[in-house]
Every structure is written in C-alpha cells, then in structure tokens.
Amino acid sequence: MSHSVVTLTGLGSVQGRHVGGACRFSAIPYAEAPVGALRWRAPRPAHWTGTLSVIDTPPIAPQWPSRLSEAMGDFDLPQSEDCLHLTVWTPAADRGRRPVLLWLHGGAWQSGAGALDWYDGTQLATLGDVVVVAPNYRLGALGWLHLPGQTANVGLLDQALALDWVRRHAAAFGGDPERITVMGQSAGAASIACLLTRETPGFERAILMSTPLGGRQRRGVRSSAQAARLGEAWLRALGAPDLDAARAAPLADVMQAQLSPIVQDALREEDSGRPQFGPVADGQVLPEAMDDALAHAATRADVLIGYTRDEMLAFPGTPPGPATRAIGDDLFGTPSHAWAQQALDGGRKAWGYRFDLAPTQRFGACHCIELPFVFGTWNAFAEAPMLRGLAPSAAAALTAQVQHDWLAFVHGGAPDWDMAPAWKALG
C-alpha cells in the first residue's frame, strides 16, 4: 500500500509517495530547463512556489539508443530537454541524518538516465538506511559540445549542481549533507574522477565502477583543440553558422546532426576510441593538464573501485578471448589499480575488486553486469541477455554480498576484505 509523503525543503514543500518500504520523490527539478537561450549554458538552479508534486517518472535526456542494448536490454521513456531532474529514495523524510548516496549513471555520456528502473534506489535505501539520489544530466552534443569561447562540459556542471542540491537539501529527506558518497559506473565513474579535479568537490567518499581512465582514450578527456574540431564538424552537420543559431534549431535536427557522416569522419580522424562527445580539458571547468589533475584527484576521496573481468564483451563486435580481455584490462583494470594506489599514497583508504560472475559465454563478466547486484533491481533486468541462465539463488547470494559491502562503505566503514593492494574477486 502506498500513501503520499510531504517534506519541506529550503525551496518549498515536495510531495512524494511511500511505496515498497521507502519514500520516493521523483522528478524534482534541480535546474531550470536548459532550452532556448539556456542550451549549452551552465545550469541555473530551479525554484518553485507552493507544494511540488513529484510522483511521476521524469523525462530522460534526449539520446539515441545505447550501443550496449544487446547485453543489458533496452528502455523506452519519454525524452525532453527539460530533463534536469533528480529522484530521491529515503526510508523516511525525517531528520534522521542518514548517509547519502548520489548515483551518476553510465552510458558513455551519450545515453542513460538516473530515472531508469535499473537504478531504482528503494532496496539500497531500505536495506542500508541511506538516502539515495539519482539525477539526470545532459548527454551527447547537448551536454558535452565544446566550441572556442563557449562554456564546455555543461553535463559535468549539471552533475556538480545536482551534488550542490544534495548538500543543500539532503536534510529535508532524512540525509546528512556531511556524509555524501558519490557512486558512478563507466561514464558516471569517470565523471566522478573529473569532479574530484575541481576546487571544491564536496564529497570525500567515492565508488568507482568500471572507470574508463586508460587505453587509447587517454583518460577519456579530449583536449580543447580536439573537442573544438569535433564541435565545428557538428555545427557544419547542423547547418548552423554558430552556437547562437544552433540554440534556435529544432531538437530533432540537433540530435540528427550527431549521426551525420561529417561528425563520424571527424571521429575517425581523431582516432582516439573515445565516445562521440564527452569531457573536455578546457582549462576552465576542467584543468588542461588532466593527467596531473586526475593523479591528484585520487588523493581527495576514500574509494571503493573496481572493474569486471570481461569488460569489452558488452560492446558489439568484440569476441571472447585473451586479446579482448587485455583491451578491457588496459582501459578499465590497470587504471583502477593505479587509482587505488594513488589514493593510498595520498593518505586515503582504498579497496579494489574485480567482478567475475559470468552467466553466459557470449557476454562473460561484461561491462555493466554488476549493476543489478548493486541495486537489487532484478525485475528491471529480467530480460537482460548478459544475465540469462543465472540461477536465482546465486543471484540473491551475490546481491546480498555486494550490497552489504557497498553499504558498509557508504556508512563510512569498509567492505569485507583488506584494503589495496589486496584485490577482491566477486562472483
């Protein structure tokens, strides 16, 4: 049985629902809609008057289908540029001062959403007595386009504003703004690494899952010049002379330009293996010397970090075998070990893991396979090809172990294994 719940924030009252053992507040706007003149600008904090009813699932950021759907399955939710919302799950909207877990979703900065059922925070909130917060942020060209003289990394600025929102308003949902852990997977984890390079990150605990910090991507961050070449190719594909003209373009045209041969040619010329749009070392939002900045970033938070044994098998066209596994280790594994060691060298605590469970031969222990074990959202992942054949008893046992360890870390403790350089095999 569900019933409505109301809490008072510094912005006004928010009405959600108590269902499944937790209070859920969906579609809370943390920023104004980034449309029209606000496209490609830093997000502006949202405001409202009266009581905000946040019961329905919010729209997700405009995006094309994920390239990982063959492994994970797919989703179909309404899309809108008015997507800068977040969802809060809490055991009670009281003054409980619980630890807060902020989740940044993956998707190569091109797809995904915090609002997906895959990432429902009900189980973590109720099991761990924590407050879980999941924001959407801008994706693709709308979030990560860079042109000279314009603000770069607006998707990262979205994430930073969502974090600031949590610090300001967590107490209204029973959370402690002084005990925030930021957790991310893939692009979400790399975004956390980027946030830790900024002057005041605002958190001192991080869970980094499958962080793409190595390989040909060179830590996943383009130089300003590289990003500008890609941005200028995108402008030509759109047929816009400048960014002001692009702000007036229909959303469908903005999205279609990302698929243009002009943009694809620019990516091939770059020959970096990076996603189409992503973080940029612009010298303002992110430092120009990102290698040095990321090495220092590792010393700014205690960390639970890891990767999966067969990362690359989630991606189309990657057959099983030692060569494929080596690519995954280079992109995700080796830099994860390095980050843990840098954290230790900087006086931080660090625990490392590798997720080894492989239900199928085709996908093995692939990229994203740990997600249902972290969130316990097995109904949402019921059709995921990467999980076919997994015995429910084995799924339940490993889920209990993973959630115990992750929640222990969120509460300021330790997972059930020794710190790095020890490395835990899960599954």
CATH (domain of 392):
3.40.50.1820
What is the C-alpha separation between 238 and 259, in angstroms, rounded? 10
DSSP letter at 324? H
pLDDT band at 215 (very low <50, low <70, confident <90, very high): low
What is the C-alpha separation between 356 and 297, in angstroms, rounded? 28
Structural domain including 369 reads: 3-221+285-426
> Does residue 406 fall inside a structural domain?
yes
Q: Give pLDDT, residue 274.
A: 87
**Catalytic site includes residue 367:** yes
- CA 18, 372, 406, 160 torsion-angle sign: negative
Q: Give pLDDT, residue 136.
A: 98
Count: domains in the chain = 1
Q: Which of 105, 311, 336, 337 is catalytic?
A: 311
Chain position carrying tokens 């997700």:
60
pLDDT at 53 over 90: no
- Region 294-298: mean pLDDT is 95
The closest alpha carbon to 338, from 420, 424, 223, belongs to 420
> Does residue 378 fall inside a structural domain?
yes
pLDDT at 219 over 70: no
> Does residue 8 fall inside a structural domain?
yes
pLDDT band at 217 (very low <50, low <70, confident <90, very high): very low
Least confident of 50-64, 127-141, 247-261, 310-324: 50-64
Q: Considering all CA atoms of the chain, what is the largest pairwise distance in Å, rounded to the nearest integer?
A: 59
What is the C-alpha separation between 390 and 393, in angstroms, rounded? 9
- Region 168-180: mean pLDDT is 97
pLDDT digits (tens, 9 = 90+) for 77-107: 999 999 999 999 999 999 899 999 999 999 9
DSSP SS3 for 325: helix
> Does residue 231 fall inside a structural domain?
no
pLDDT at 218 over 70: no
pLDDT at 216 over 90: no
Q: Which of 66, 111, 186, 191 is catalytic?
A: 186
What is the C-alpha separation between 53 and 6, in angstroms, rounded? 9
- Region 184-208: mean pLDDT is 95
> Does residue 241 fall inside a structural domain?
no
Least confident of 92-101, 103-112, 212-221, 241-250: 212-221
Q: Give pLDDT, residue 146.
A: 96
Chain position carrying tokens 């904090």:
45
Q: Which of 85, 105, 169, 367 is catalytic?
A: 367
Instruction: Provide the Cα torsion 230, 233, 235, 239; round to 10°.
Output: -170
DSSP letter at 259? T
- Region 257-270: mean pLDDT is 94
- Region 213-218: mean pLDDT is 63
- For the chain, state the CA radius of gyration: 20
pTM score: 0.97
The percentage of the chain sitting over the pLDDT mark of 90, rounded to a whole number, equals 89
How are beta strands 131-135 and 85-90 bridged, if at all?
A: antiparallel
The closest alpha carbon to 299, from 351, 352, 340, belongs to 340
pLDDT at 270 over 50: yes
> Does residue 121 fall inside a structural domain?
yes
**Catalytic site includes residue 70:** no
Chain position carrying tokens 């107490």:
171
**Catalytic site includes residue 186:** yes
In the structure encoding, which two tokens stand for residue 18, read together? 């108590």
> Does residue 412 fall inside a structural domain?
yes
> Does residue 393 fall inside a structural domain?
yes
pLDDT band at 308 (very low <50, low <70, confident <90, very high): very high
What is the C-alpha separation between 61 and 54, in angstroms, rounded? 18
